[in-house]
Structure formats: structure tokens, C-alpha cells
Amino acid sequence: MSECCTVIMPCYNSESFIRISILSVINQTFEKWELLIIDDNSTDNTVSLVEELAKNDPRIKLFKNSENLGAGASRNKAIEHAQGRYIAFLDADDLWHPQKLEKQIAFMQENDIALSYTQYQKFDESGDLGIVVPPDTVTYDELLYSNVIGCLTAVYDSEKLGKRYMPLIRKRQDMGLWLTILKDIPKAFCLQENLAKYRIDSGMTKNKLTVLGYQWRFYREVVGLNIFKSAYTFMVYAYKGFIKSRI
């Protein structure tokens, strides 16, 4: 398997943001990457923007869904085609710092790490906001109470873990994937540097009550916790989510 990094980017009607997100991959100091973009049946100008950039860089590859499947299924489609040893994730409205892959892959290689993540900074049209600082490590049991692994920061080593896929659910697919991995390894590790930027004003972070309702179903139906464990875990999750939202 190639020592390069495969970057997974699902997109849907992302014409307002996707160019700058792609450029943040192109500008990486780590040059051994491929960017697999999966368009989820967009109705705007997203596809033509991606095709324009792909003409100038053969490392960018576009796949198109004939119907809207959701981010999890779209990411899985890209993972199937991935050629890199390392699998990383970046949504079409988020950004990476130029040294993100170089520093994080070196961190993983030097410390024999299978799953890693980093700090990230929130931002919107008004500018940069707070920096999210996760714990140094996280286990399966700890992640149940708070998804401290920002999807835009995560990298896993498919040579150590094999290719791992997201559960086919519309929300919380990333958390489902990290939990699956953490069933098989003791913990994931954080590189304590701010190496990514998470956009909060694109519409993806709105409707908090709906998100909380889905989180309850996630514990009951996806993770399979009993109702008492679900209730306790959900209350802790909601509290920690409130604290995180204040950053």
C-alpha cells in the first residue's frame, strides 16, 4: 500500500466554499496525497468547480453519486477507492493549515499510532473564533461521552487497521467510525497543535435540538446501549456539548 495519504472530501452544493478547501489540500507541505472528492448529487456549480481544479492536478479525483446518499455513504465510496496508507477527512467547507499532514503523519510514524487527531479552530465570515483543545488521548469509553475527535483532524493508518468504513447513518457517522476503531486499539492520540479550521456558519452546525435527538438514537440504535446507560451517557454528552459550544 502506498505511503501517501488519501484525503476524503464529500460535498453537496458546496460551490461557496469548496475551492478554498481544496486549495488548503493542494498547499500542503506533505505532497504525497490524493484527494478523493465525492459529489452527493449537487444541484449547483460544485462539480464544474472541482473539475476545473482537477484538470491542473492529477492527485484530485472526482466521483459523482447519481442520488443523494449522505456524507457517510459518500465517504465510504471514496474509502473503497483509496490508494493511500493514511486516511484523512476534510469536509468541503473546512480548511487545513499547510503543515497539517506533514506534522500529523510524522507524529503517527514516530509514536506508532493508528488513529490520531489535532486541535482545530472555529471560524465564520466574521473571522477566527475559539480553538478547540481535545484531551491528549481518548479511549472507547471516554469517546462515548464526548466526540473529542474533530472529523477534519482525524487520520487513521489503514496498514495497521485495514480500511475502516463509516456506519450508514445520516449523522454522527464519524463518531461511529472512531468507536469502531477504538474497540480494537487501546486509545487514539492527539497532536496538540491547531492544524485545522472548522466553519460554523455554513448551515451544518445548526438545529441543535435535532442533533441531540439523533444523538439519543445513536446511543440506542447504533451503539446498542441499554436505556439506562443511554440516559446517563446522553446527559453527560449534552453537558459536554454545551461547554464545547461556548468556546
Contacts of 246 (CB under 8 A, 6+ apart): none
pLDDT at 128: 93
* pTM, two decimal places: 0.89
Neighbouring-strand partners of residue 89: 8
Is 99 in contact with 108 (CB distance < 8 Å)? no
pLDDT band, very low/low/confident/very high, at 247 (cuts 50, 70, 90): low
* Average pLDDT over every residue of 129-156: 96
pLDDT beyond 80 at 7: yes
Name the 3-class secondary structure at 30: coil
| Residue 197: Cβ within 10 Å count | 20
- Euclidean distance between CA atoms 92 and 21, whole angstroms: 6
Domains and CATH numbers, the chain: 2-202 (3.90.550.10), 207-247 (no CATH)
- DSSP letter, residue 162: -
pLDDT band, very low/low/confident/very high, at 205 (cuts 50, 70, 90): very low
pLDDT beyond 50 at 245: yes
pLDDT at 197: 97
Please list the alpha-helical segments (H only) found in the chain: 18-26, 46-55, 71-81, 100-111, 140-145, 158-161, 173-182, 208-217, 227-245
- pLDDT tens per residue across span 183-201: 999 999 999 999 999 998 7
pLDDT at 244: 67
The mean predicted confidence, pLDDT, of the chain is: 92
pLDDT at 222: 81
The amino acid present at 171, given as its one-letter code, is K
- pLDDT tens per residue across span 47-62: 999 999 999 999 999 9
* Average pLDDT over every residue of 126-149: 95
